[in-house]
């Protein structure tokens, strides 16, 4: 269900009119942040820094979120 919701939001943001996208962003941002926080609460870090859910030295969820939040680099006109 979450994937479907995110897909719907992405389609609306990419194809919607500016005013509609603004309303959507205002209504959905808090819900998306809440969902991310709920996921992170389930991936508690041990005192050693390892994830108690992933049972790995590095939390896979936290890594994926960090990568997803990296700034988007603009494409230069010359392709470089």
Kindly report whether the global pTM for this prediction surpasses the value 0.75. Answer: no
Q: Report the SS3 class of residue 51.
A: strand
Dihedral of CA 9/11/16/18: which sign? positive
Per-residue confidence band for 80, with pLDDT thresholds at 50, 70 and 90: low
Q: Are 60 and 68 in contact (CB under 8 A)?
A: no
How confident is the model over 19-72, as pLDDT tens digits?
Answer: 999 999 899 888 888 888 998 999 999 999 999 999 999 999 999 988 888 877
Paired with 45 in beta bridges are: 51
6-14 average pLDDT score: 87
């Amino acid at each position: 269900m979450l994937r479907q919701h995110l897909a719907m939001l992405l389609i609306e943001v990419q194809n919607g009119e500016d005013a509609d996208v603004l309303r959507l962003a205002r209504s959905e941002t808090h819900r998306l942040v809440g969902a991310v926080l709920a996921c992170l609460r389930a991936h508690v870090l041990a005192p050693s820094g390892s994830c108690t859910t992933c049972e790995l030295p590095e939390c896979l969820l936290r890594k994926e979120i960090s990568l997803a939040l990296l700034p988007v680099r603009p494409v230069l006109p010359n392709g470089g």
